[in-house]
């Protein structure tokens, strides 16, 4: 099980860490890390139903949401469709492993092999969240993407090849794509978009 801190405020939790259902194996085909060229941001559109619907207050709520994401879209297969899911907490950001670094996703038609999808847990189109808290979390997303691109390893996780080409494909005005750049959708949500323009990892 891997559950470790990449940088202060930025925590990574593997599938074993969030206790993925063993009866639902990881899906997707193998992808070499050097084939990854771009990052696509989504939101899960499944808020936490408390007074802070896009802020995750406990490991229990995060881990149970990850298990729910294994079954939420049976039409896409019984696994988390994204490579990673990002949970905003009061302390920072928790990144949970979905398909992970080395498998195709089921998130963006035409971009499930070369793209790395990070989905923010919550509904950033319809549920309010403080602008300051979002602004404060964007550097941590930058740190995570930078870690994938240059390091991707940790003593508690293992030694891996980084995704050296991540970020070589990007839109003109930002370093990450939005799902809506490729499809008719509001994803990743208007509340996130202005903040995502400041994500910088290459
Ligand atoms: Zn999306």
Q: Mean per-residue pLDDT for 147-151?
A: 98
Q: Which structure tokens are listed for 187?
A: 């994803």
CA angle at 112 for the pair 66 and 160, rounded to the nearest 5°: 70
* 70 Cα to the center of ligand 1, angstroms: 16
Arithmetic mean of pLDDT, 165-191: 97
Q: What is the mean pLDDT of residues 92-119?
A: 97
pLDDT of residue 156: 95
Residue 48 has pLDDT above 90, yes or no: no
Structure confidence at residue 76 (pLDDT): 86
Any domain includes 202: no
179 Cα–ligand 1 center, Å? 5
- Indicate the pLDDT class of residue 23, thresholds 50, 70 and 90: very high
In this predicted model, which residue has the larger pLDDT, 46 or 111? 111
CB atoms within 10 A of CB 172: 4
Give me ligand 1 centre to Cα 161, in Å.
27
Given a contact cutoff of 8 angstroms between Cβ atoms, the answer to whether 41 and 197 are in contact is no
CA angle 116, 198, 85 (to 5 degrees): 35
DSSP string, 154-188: BTTTB-----TTTTSS--TT-SSEEGGGTSSS-TT
Answer for the pair 125, 190: CB distance below 8 angstroms, yes or no. Answer: yes
Task: Please tell me the distance between residue 159's alpha carbon and the centre of ligand 1 in angstroms.
Answer: 30
CATH code, domain carrying 138: 3.40.80.10
Q: What percent of the chain has pLDDT over 70?
A: 100
For residue 130, the enclosing domain spans 3-196
Determine the distance separating the centroid of ligand 1 and the alpha carbon of 202, expressed in angstroms: 23
Handedness of CA 69, 17, 10, 145 (dihedral sign): negative
The Å distance, Cα 189 to ligand 1 centre, comes to: 9
Decide if 105 is inside a domain: yes
Mean pLDDT of the chain: 95
How far is it, in rounded angstroms, from Cα 121 to Cα 74?
A: 18
- Residue 50 pLDDT > 80, yes or no? no
DSSP letters spanning 103-132: B--SSSTT-TTTEEEEEESS-TTTS---HH
Average pLDDT over residues 21-37: 96
Q: Compute the distance from residue 112 Cα to the ligand 1 centre, in Å.
A: 12
Residue 130 pLDDT: 86
pTM of structure? 0.97
Residue 180 CB contacts under 8 Å (≥ 6 apart), including other chains: 186, 187, 188
User: What is the 201 CA–ligand 1 centroid distance (Å)?
Assistant: 21
**39 strand-pairing partners:** 116
Residue 57 CA, ligand 1 centroid: distance in Å: 23
Q: Is residue 135 assigned to a domain?
A: yes
pLDDT at res. 7:
97
Residue-level pLDDT at 16? 96
Residue 26 belongs to a domain: yes
For residue 7, the CA-to-ligand 1 centroid distance in Å is 27
Total structural domains within the chain: 1
Helix or strand run (H / E) with residue 7: strand 3-7
Q: For residue 132, tell me if it sits in a domain.
A: yes
Q: What's the gap in Å between 156 CA and the centre of ligand 1? A: 30
């Amino acid at each position: 099980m891997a559950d470790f801190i990449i940088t202060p405020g930025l925590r990574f939790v593997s599938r074993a860490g969030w206790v993925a259902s063993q009866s639902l194996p990881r899906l997707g085909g193998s992808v070499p890390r050097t084939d990854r060229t771009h990052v696509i941001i989504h939101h899960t559109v499944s808020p936490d139903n408390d007074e802070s619907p896009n802020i995750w207050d406990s490991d229990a709520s995060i881990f149970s949401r990850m298990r729910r994401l294994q079954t939420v879209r049976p039409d896409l297969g019984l696994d988390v469709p994204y490579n990673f899911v990002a949970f905003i907490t009061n302390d920072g950001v928790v990144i949970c492993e979905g398909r992970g670094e080395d498998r195709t996703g089921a998130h963006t038609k035409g971009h499930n092999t070369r793209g790395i999808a990070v989905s923010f847990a919550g509904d950033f189109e319809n549920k309010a969240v403080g602008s300051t808290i979002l602004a404060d979390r964007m550097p941590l997303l930058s740190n995570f993407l930078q870690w994938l691109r240059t390091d991707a390893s940790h003593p508690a996780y293992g030694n891996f090849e980084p995704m050296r080409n991540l970020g070589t494909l990007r839109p003109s005005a930002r370093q990450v794509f939005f799902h809506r750049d490729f499809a008719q959708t509001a994803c990743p949500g208007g509340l996130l978009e202005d903040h995502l323009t400041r994500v910088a990892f290459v």
